């Protein structure tokens, strides 16, 4: 007999987690996670799962989630975004993808928000989750109380040193298109833009990393969380990465997005730092044009759901360990649609795919991507994140990541915005800079 889910959320004392950085809790190879600057949520086990493919994947997921949360019995003693029932999710970039878009409700979620920790225990067999049950589940996944191992940053750094020192061979192999064929695809895209068929196109490619000694998923996540503190580190099943781009974040009536487009490799700055980025990135008409198109696509799609929207006139420079980006933060106050504030997933349905990962106009860019990339992007460049029963959530764009395909191999993806002024060799170099966070986390030096 199928039972409705039952959930209990309680505050966790500092000793229960034993660390101020949530990355310290990445103790299990199957852990789901969403972490930025040591805060967010991690999930263990599985109480429920939904999968879908096709054009209606977001709407179908939303309907499933609504029904599940309506039937559930929830005691939430914390009551902020992310507490109560929560699902992690990952969606295919394309409606034609074979990848199964998914929502996963873990049995145990541990979170840190504004320095305070909490945990939610979910049962699917009809039993009532208790305080003692939550504490016991936390101890089970983190080791003894207070035994999560201190600060995730320290642990991760020590591990990555040990890793590059001496594990099995790591090799790279080309994905769907080799480098030359991918550059030919970029040149073909530029031609189509020059012919006036479209304004911008985002072309991606894949590579496969083989690691003889095995891919340790939670170690990879720890390294990403340690090195890429300003990104959102995500792990949902085999999908793992650290994205700097926020498609949409919803908290009550407030929605926020971080739009990125325009990139330079930090290695090219030769230590000149931000001054170089200001000159070469913010000062480049090509990069500004690429960024302008991405901002336009987000704000146009968000406008019907909001009454007040502000985005700065000037993009800022986002400094990451591998690249500098042109970035713009957009904030909007949401309006009721059919009597309700739109949920984060409803907004994802309206916003995806933006011009930061597809192009403009969307349908022409989407068709050209299918024609030129010769690649099923799977969850790459699709929405990844979490949502709660109130509709709050954070959905990043699954960039700077990849999919663990076998115990010893992982497929990585990276793409570039192509405009008329794009040069195939420069775009190829940019993909290598974008692969770098994952390559480093996997112990590949390049």
Ligand X SMILES: C=C(O[C@H]1C=CC=C(C(=O)O)[C@@H]1O)C(=O)O
CA 88 vs CA 49, 99, 220, 264, 285: distances in Å:
10, 16, 19, 31, 38
Of 362, 261, 250, 361, nearest in space to 306 by CA: 250
Is 190 a binding residue for ligand X by CB under 6 A? The answer is no
Interface with ligand X, residue 202, by CB under 6 A? yes
Between 175 and 417, CB nearer to ligand X:
417
Nearer of residues 4 and 238 to ligand X, judged by Cβ: 238
CB of 111 to ligand X, least distance (A): 27
The footprint of ligand X on residues 254-273 (CB under 6 A) is: 260-263
Least Å from the CB of residue 381 to ligand X: 6
Query: CA 384, CA 197: separation in Å to the nearest integer?
Result: 30
d(CA 362, CA 352): 10
List the one residue from 266, 400, 411, 436 that touches ligand X (CB under 6 A): 400
Which is nearer to ligand X, 396 or 443 (by Cβ)?
396
By beta-carbon proximity to ligand X, the closer residue of 84 and 385 is 385
In angstroms, the CA 403 to CA 236 distance is 10
> Using CA atoms, how far apart are residues 29 and 15, in angstroms rounded to an integer?
23
Q: Omega into 156 within 30° of 0, i.e. cis?
A: no
Q: Are 202 and 415 in contact (CB under 8 A)?
A: yes
Residues carrying an active site annotation? 200, 245
Cβ 208 to ligand X, closest distance in Å?
A: 16
- DSSP for 144-186 reads STT-S-S-HHHHHHHHHHHHHHH-S-EEEEE-SS-HHHHHHHH
Stretch that binds ligand X, among 70-78, 226-234, 246-254, 413-421 (CB under 6 A): 413-421
Phi, psi of 274 (to 5 degrees): -60, -35
Work out which of 399, 433, 442, 444 binds ligand X, going by CB under 6 A.
399
Chain center to CA of 97: 18
Output the CA–CA distances (angstroms, integers) from residue 60 to 52, 157, 345, in the order listed. 7, 41, 10
What is the Cα–Cα distance from 318 to 327, expressed in whole angstroms?
6
Please identify, using beta-carbon distances, which residue of 22 and 323 lies nearer to ligand X: 323
Interface with ligand X includes 223 (CB under 6 A)?
Answer: no
Q: What are the backbone dihedrals phi and psi of residue 390, each rounded to the nearest 5 degrees, phi first?
A: -80, -5
Q: What is the contact mask toward ligand X in residues 306 to 345, using x (rule: CB under 6 A)?
A: -------------------x--------------------
- If one asks whether residue 353 binds ligand X (CB under 6 A), the answer comes out as no
Nearer to ligand X, 25 or 417 (CB): 417
419 touching ligand X, by CB under 6 A: no
Options 218-226, 231-239, 335-343, 408-416: segment touching ligand X (CB under 6 A): 408-416
Interface ranges with ligand X (CB under 6 A): 202, 204, 245, 260-263, 325, 356-357, 399-400, 414-417, 434
């Amino acid at each position: 007999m199928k039972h409705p889910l039952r959930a209990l959320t309680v505050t966790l004392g500092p000793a229960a987690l034993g660390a101020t950085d949530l990355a310290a809790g990445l103790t299990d190879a199957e852990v789901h996670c969403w972490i930025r600057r040591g805060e967010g949520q991690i999930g263990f086990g599985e109480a429920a799962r939904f999968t879908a493919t096709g054009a209606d994947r977001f709407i179908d997921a939303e309907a499933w989630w609504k029904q599940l949360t309506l039937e559930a019995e929830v005691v939430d003693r914390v009551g902020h975004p992310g507490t109560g029932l929560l699902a992690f999710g990952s969606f295919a970039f394309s409606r034609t993808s074979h990848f199964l878009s998914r929502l996963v409700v873990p049995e145990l979620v541990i979170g840190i928000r504004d320095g305070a920790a909490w945990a939610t225990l979910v049962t699917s067999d009809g039993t009532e989750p208790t305080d003692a049950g939550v504490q016991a589940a936390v101890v089970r996944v983190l080791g003894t109380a207070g035994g999560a191992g201190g600060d995730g940053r320290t642990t991760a750094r020590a591990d990555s040193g040990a890793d590059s020192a001496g594990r099995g061979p790591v090799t790279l192999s080309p994905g769907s298109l080799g480098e030359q064929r991918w550059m030919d695809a970029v040149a073909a895209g530029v031609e189509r833009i020059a012919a006036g068929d479209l304004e911008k196109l985002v072309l991606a490619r894949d590579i496969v990393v083989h690691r003889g000694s095995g891919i340790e998923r939670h170690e990879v996540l720890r390294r990403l969380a340690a090195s890429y503190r300003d990104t959102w580190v995500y792990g949902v099943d085999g999908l793992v990465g650290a994205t700097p781009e926020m498609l949409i974040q919803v908290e009550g009536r407030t929605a926020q997005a971080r739009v990125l487009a325009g990139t330079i490799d930090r290695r090219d700055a030769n230590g000149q730092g931000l001054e170089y980025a200001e000159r070469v990135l913010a000062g480049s008409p090509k990069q500004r044009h690429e960024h302008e198109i991405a901002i336009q696509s987000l704000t146009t799609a968000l406008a019907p759901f909001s009454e007040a929207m502000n985005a700065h006139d000037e993009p800022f420079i986002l400094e990451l360990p591998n690249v500098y980006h042109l970035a713009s933060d957009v904030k909007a106050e949401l309006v009721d649609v059919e009597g309700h504030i739109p949920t984060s997933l409803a907004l994802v349905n309206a916003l995806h795919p933006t011009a930061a990962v597809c192009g403009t106009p969307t349908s022409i860019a989407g068709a050209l991507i299918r024609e030129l990339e010769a690649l099923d992007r799977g969850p790459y460049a699709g929405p990844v994140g979490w949502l709660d029963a109130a509709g709050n959530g954070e959905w990043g764009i699954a960039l700077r990541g990849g999919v663990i395909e076998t115990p010893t191999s992982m497929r990585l993806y990276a793409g570039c915005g192509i405009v008329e002024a794009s040069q195939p060799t420069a775009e190829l170099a940019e993909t290598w800079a974008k692969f770098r966070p994952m390559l480093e986390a996997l112990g590949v030096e390049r």
